[in-house]
Structure formats: C-alpha cells, structure tokens
Chain A
Amino acid sequence: MPGWHDVTEPYRQSGQLEVVGLIQEQHPDRAALFMQWKDMDWPLWVDSLNLLELPAVPYTLLINESGRIRYVGPSQEEFLSFMAEPVPQKASPDLFEGLERPDLGWLHRQAKSTEQSLAWLAYAQALYLWHWDTKSASCLDAFEQALASDPGNGWIHFRKGVAHRRLFDQQLLADPIELELAMKHWQKALSLDPDQYIWRRRLQQYGPRLDKPYAFYDWVKEARHALKARGEVPLSLMIEPVGSEIAKPVARDALATIPAAGDWAPQMQVERDKARWITWHHVSVASTQSDRESFRIHMSWAPVKQGSMVWNNEAEPLTLYLEASDGWRLSQSTIQVLGPDSAHDQERRWLEFELSGQRDATKPTVSGYALYHVCDPDSGLCLFRRQDFTLSL
C-alpha cells in the first residue's frame, strides 16, 4: 500500500485522481492509526459487514470516470496506462445513479410485511450502518429475524457476529455474552463456508496462535513509537488490541517449548467464596483448522453487580492456577491480572490462555482456582477468597 501511495500521490495532489481505502476489519480506528503511521491521508471507508462479499483482501481496483472497473490488481505500469486513458466521450452516469441512504421506515415495513430473510437482513444492515447508536438492540433483533427464516445462511451469521462484537466493544468489554455470541456466529458462518477468508480472519483474530498466519495488530506499538518520534499524537483507539490480537503465531513443532502445567499451586487453606461475590465467564475460540487441536480461552472475572463487593487493589491481584486434562497442554499454568491504580473498582478482569493437544485427544477440560481480595465498601470489611472452577470445552 505505501508503494502505491508514492505512485498515486502526485496525481491525487494535482486533482487528476481520487484515492480511497475500504477496510474489511472490525475496528476502523485501528486502520486509521495505520494510515496515520504510513502518512497516507486519503479517505478511509468501512465495510466491517463485508457487504461487498469479498472472499479475501487485498485488492486494488482502478475505476474510470464512468464508474467502470478498468483494472483489478494492476501493476504500476498499468496504472500509468490508466492515467493516460482519455476521459470517455460519453460517461455513463446511470452506473452511479444515486441510491440514497436507505429509508429505514420502508425497510422495516418491507421486513414485517414479507417476513423474508433478505428483507430483515437489509433492515438490520441499515440499522448497523446508520442508526447503531440509538438502535443497536433493534439491529440485533433484525439479524435474528433474518436468521429465523434462513438459519443456514453464513452471511447473516457473520454479520450478526460483527454486530455482537461491536456491542461488546461499545460496552467496554463489560458483557462477555456479547463476545460469546460474536464467536458463536462467526464459528457457525465459517462452518457453512470454510473457504471464506474474511470470516476466517475475524475468528483467527481471537483464536489460538497455532492458527495465526501472522500477528494481527503487533504493529500498533511500533506505529505509536514512530508517530511520537515524528512529533505527532497517535490517533486513539477505542479498544486496545491485547492478547490474541497481538500474539505472535506459533508453529506446531514449537508447542513442545510451552511449559506444561507443573507449578500447580499447593492447596491453600483459603476460604471458598461461597457467597459468589465474584463470578466468572469464559469464551473459547477453537482453531479454524481443527476443532480439537487448540483453543484460545478468553476468561473474565467480575464482582456481581447487585452485590456491594469491589476488588481490593491494595492487596495481591486476581491470580489463577490452571491445570489441563490428560493429553492437553496449557500455555500458562499461573496467571495474574492487574487492576487499575485505584484502591477499589468493579471492572471486569479479562485474561487469556491457550490449550493445545493431539488431534485425537479426548475432549479437554481445564480445572483450576482463583484467589482474590475483595472488600465491602459499606462495612470496610476486606476478605481473601478462593473459587474453584472447571471449564469443559
């Protein structure tokens, strides 16, 4: 892309050419940061839902004055030929004859009157694109209506997954159910069309390292560093890429270097959290290559909202001890999750780990326990508690 930028920039600056990027990813602000880093200031548009039904990226298209595609994936010589082409004598404005933003009321009436999947999908997409801030619940409901009529449609599953992930981000990772639903729909979509690369990539973004052809957002750190060195303020990101999103790939034969769970903590005489002041949730993302070889587990722990307990950040942070069932190997057997700087908080704590095994291994389970400190802000009473858990994948 930067190479193309150098070639096209003089034409763009002289007004002979427009350049635009259209991104196929969940988080547009990350692409915007990438553009800032590479000093590319042309417009950036977003197709998170893959409305173009692209099987993969990247593609570069050269489009002429009439809106016709003249080259797909051109060489730079072809670009120069394209720029030398005369303007068509008779342009064809009908090709771009203006569709306007969809009429939401009309789309809703169509969906309700026909009850057709396609009509519900069109309504859902319009809500996603243009009315998300006020109608995200209606959007998800419309996707659900579309699926009710056509449950085997991978496109609806993929796009509903995108909407769930967006809601998860918008709520600042507070509701793990939205993450779970996003993964569920993406996994279903990919099972319906295993060759769809865009869908595969969306899952791999949150999946195990065995499954990654390359890291997704490991460039963010380098980009920020370079921008600061240039005296620029890096664009901010709504959700910081962490865990699986910045994890480097790992080869199968490198798995032997992952330490087996050997430092299982000794049984400690810590009182169990019988009142369940803290609850946990997990989402597992299987490898897109095999459903039995590796998993990335996204686990979260949070105080029960209705309760008055808060994390005690002045004591040891939340610590987990993990052990996998026979034939399975964990990426870590001990995990600590630091809280914010404040003395107390109620934020959900997220952690990730991976589980890998032989293709013919039995269904895995991960057992373990968490140790944590909580306080009751009303009474000032602070407690140290343990909670045991088992994950069946």
Chain B
Amino acid sequence: MFCPKTCLWFGILASALYGGSMQTKAESPFNVGDSFPDQWFPDASDGRPRHLNQWFGKKIVLHLFASW
C-alpha cells in the first residue's frame, strides 16, 4: 500500500547507486529537481501547522536532523 511513495524512494536510491543525477549521499531519498513532498508539519514552538509554501518565491535551506 505504500508503494507509490516507497517505490519512489527506492527508485531514487537505485538512481543514486547506479549513476543517477543525485549530487550527494547515495542513500538520500531526495532527488535534485524534484519538489519537496507536499506536507504540513507542526511548529515545535506552538504546534501550529506549517508548510514550505509559506516561503514560495524565496530560497530555502532545509535541515532534516535530530538533536541526539
């Protein structure tokens, strides 16, 4: 049931491993040229929903990380 998204990730992974257009880590699920997944996330400060589209028209640096 997760195939559409999961298969996309696997496709990206295969592309990276076998000479695709990825610029960095082979295991990265992100592909240059793709749009970032359309998803709302809670803000850690107040729990309010946030979406990258609030900055449409601007350049964005997105850090995906954990503090551990």
Contacts and interface: CB of A to CB of B under 8 A. Distances in A.
Interface in B12-68: 22-25, 27-45, 49-53, 55-68
Given A19-B63, A96-B38, A29 B44 contact: yes
B42 to A, nearest CB: 5
Given A73-B24, A117-B1, A45 B50 contact: yes
A72 B29 CA distance: 9
Contacts of B44: 23, 28-29, 31-32, 44-46
Instruction: Report, as a range, how many residues of chain B touch the other chain.
Output: 35 or more
A183 B57 CA distance: 43
Contacts, number: 208
B58 A4 contact: no
Contact of A8 (B42, B61, B68): B61
B52 A63 contact: yes
A52 B64 contact: yes
Which of A4, A52, A70, A153 counts the most B-chain CB atoms under 10 A from its CB? Answer: A52
Nearest to B64: A59
B39 to A, nearest CB: 6
A95 B42 CA distance: 20
A343 interface: no
A255 interface: no
Contacts of B56: 65-67, 91, 93, 96
A58 B65 contact: yes
Contact of A101 (B1, B40, B55, B60): B40
A391 interface: no
A67 B32 contact: no
Nearest to A31: B67
Contacts of A101: 40, 49
B57 A61 contact: no
A43 B32 CA distance: 24
Contact of A58 (B51, B58, B64): B64
A369 interface: no
A57 B65 CA distance: 5
A169 interface: no
Contacts of A52: 29, 37, 39, 64
Interface string A54-84: 1111111111111111111110001100110
A388 interface: no
B40 to A, nearest CB: 6
A350 interface: no
Contacts of A91: 56-57
23 contacts: A4-B61, A16-B59, A21-B64, A24-B64, A25-B66, A31-B44, A32-B45, A45-B41, A52-B37, A53-B5, A57-B66, A58-B63, A59-B28, A64-B59, A69-B36, A70-B32, A72-B22, A73-B23, A99-B38, A99-B40, A99-B51, A153-B1, A153-B2
Leading 8 A-B pairs by shortest Cβ distance: A73-B24, A96-B53, A34-B67, A45-B41, A58-B65, A28-B44, A216-B68, A44-B44
